Chain A
Amino acid sequence: MFEDMAKRSASWLSGQGKSPEIVLSSRVRLARNITTFPFPPVADTDTREKVLSYVESAIDKTGHLKEGTFCTSGELTDLDMSFLMERHLISPEFLKGQSSRGLFVGKNESVSIMVNEEDHLRIQAIRSGLDIRSSWQMANKTDDQLTHSLEFDYDPSFGYLTSCPTNVGTGMRASVLVHLPGLVLTREIQKVIGRISKVGLTVRGFYGEGTDVLGNLFQISNQATLGRSEEDIIGDLERVTQQIIEYEQNSRTTLYKDAKEQIEDKIWRSLGILTHARVLTSSEVMNLLSALRLGIGMKTLARPPLGLINELLLLSQPAHLQKFYGREMNSNERDSVRAELIRSKLNE
């Protein structure tokens, strides 16, 4: 399954939209539960199966979701699952043990719905660039349409009820995936993270070996889901993201003023390695692509286009590589196939 999907990039990685050189994507996720049924972690298999079929028929009746694919966890192999996780369509929680989970993926992957993860429904909408509002509108519209067939657990003072109380209220987690090499290189990132967390947002960075953040990618999301409206939460995230874009641009300007030669050298070397190396690990690729993305943002490089950098970021992940080539591979084999694929894509 999904070999065709692996051959095309997801629309949220197209490199289009607002400030795509810094903001990769904007995502909104809504947690919903069908009233009277226990939440998935405690529900028995019968109940979970019932929820699954209710949601599937509700999606069928939903006008704008007509074109899409629905699959259940029973049909998915481990490789399928890893592939969907790399593609942001399912969460690590989805992989854990329990049966009778479902996934709906809409046309071009902008809207997707996980069924029986931690909550009965997790509606996700995702867009390329800084565009949290459109993501919210898409998720909200999907929620409205599903409400024609499903009644969701809702309490007048607590709002939408969820399995974990950290999601109660709007049930909404809005997030942006941002690329901040300038702030990392100038060592300003910790200060910025500190400031962001004071305004009720959460920043997540991923550290590989050493102190470098993998690919200089950070996810910023709202922490509280209760007490404020969706519009207010999104407004905050948008405002803070704008500020971060500004900080990042300032630090890039500083870098180019103080150490232009070293930075440009790093960018050109990265391009050199990516277009000539014979063995590449996925974390090495993430860091090299980060340098390329910086090069495009600073106009040191004229190509490859952002959309291709994004596509490679996804394609070089282990499960994507295996789906792309249609066979299972061990990690040594992947490292050489990865280098080959990147060389050919960049030299096209």
Chain B
Amino acid sequence: MLCQDCGKKEATVHLTQIVNNEKVTLDLCDECAEKRGFHSPLQGASFPLAEFLASIMDKELLKKSKNHAGQRCPRCGIAFSDFGKAGRLGCGNCYKVFRDELRELLRKIHGSDLHRGKIPPAYGDVMKPIREEKRLEEELQKAIEAENFEMAAQIRDKIKGLSRDKG
């Protein structure tokens, strides 16, 4: 088997990673493996993201991004097609500009598009009720899907209670 990076030398390093139940393998020659930092587990190599993103950025998502082909993030100048190629966004503002596309991608990568972890100290008090509301809305949706209407009614009351607190 030939190295998949240089296509010239025999592949001697074989790396396997399971991502979302899909096996992704890399077959490299010694030299290319070293270039990528896959020499040993003590060197803490990171798995190539381009391959990973390509495997989840399906055609539909790319087609959608074509609708915004001309759109660039005003802060850093990155277009969504650049992101498709490099797998990296340009700045925090990109998450606002390409919000819809990213929301879908995040759901595919993480199985969720809502942060439930740490809130930076300065955000804490402002964000708590908003997050609680979003969480309850998700629960409400689940309850409705499960046709558990009694629970749905209870959750709806809680959401109403929250917005009263805000007012």
Contact = CB atoms under 8 A, between A and B. Distances in A.
Interface of A: 33, 35-39, 41-42, 85-86, 88, 91-93, 95, 118, 140, 143-144, 147, 151-161, 163-166, 168-170, 172, 177, 193-194, 196-198, 200, 202-209, 214-215, 217-219, 223-230, 232, 282-283, 286, 313-314, 317
Contacts of B52: 166
A92 B37 contact: yes
A88 B114 contact: no
Closest 5 CB pairs of A and B: A227-B112, A92-B37, A159-B115, A153-B92, A197-B18
Given A172-B117, A202-B18, 10 more contacts: A147-B121, A153-B91, A157-B113, A157-B114, A165-B109, A168-B106, A202-B19, A207-B14, A226-B112, A232-B116
B40 A206 contact: yes
B117 A229 contact: yes
A223 B118 contact: no
A169 B21 contact: no
Interface residues on B, range: 35 or more
B89 A165 contact: yes
A314 B43 CA distance: 10
B40 A286 contact: yes
A322 to B, nearest CB: 15
Contact of B45 (A92, A158, A163, A208): A92
A213 B42 CA distance: 13
A226 B89 contact: no
Given A164-B88, A226-B112, A88 B16 contact: no
Given A147-B120, A170-B118, A314-B42, A118 B88 contact: yes
B83 to A, nearest CB: 9
A158 B113 contact: yes
Contacts of A198: 21
Contacts of B102: 158, 165
Nearest to A215: B41
Interface in B77-109: 77-78, 86-92, 95-96, 102, 105-106, 109
Most chain B Cβ neighbours within 10 Å, of A92, A170, A193, A198: A92
A157 to B, nearest CB: 6
Nearest to A231: B117
A194 B118 CA distance: 30
Contacts of B2: none
B51 to A, nearest CB: 12
Contact of B123 (A156, A157, A202, A286): A156
B82 to A, nearest CB: 9
Given A38-B75, A156-B131, A227 B110 contact: yes
A314 B14 CA distance: 22
Most chain A Cβ neighbours within 10 Å, of B13, B47, B52, B116: B116
Contacts of A200: 111
Given A156-B130, A226-B112, A91 B117 contact: no
B42 A86 contact: yes
B18 A193 contact: yes
A114 to B, nearest CB: 11
B90 A42 contact: yes
A137 to B, nearest CB: 12
A39 B117 contact: no
Contacts of A41: 86, 88
Interface in B6-39: 12-21, 36-38
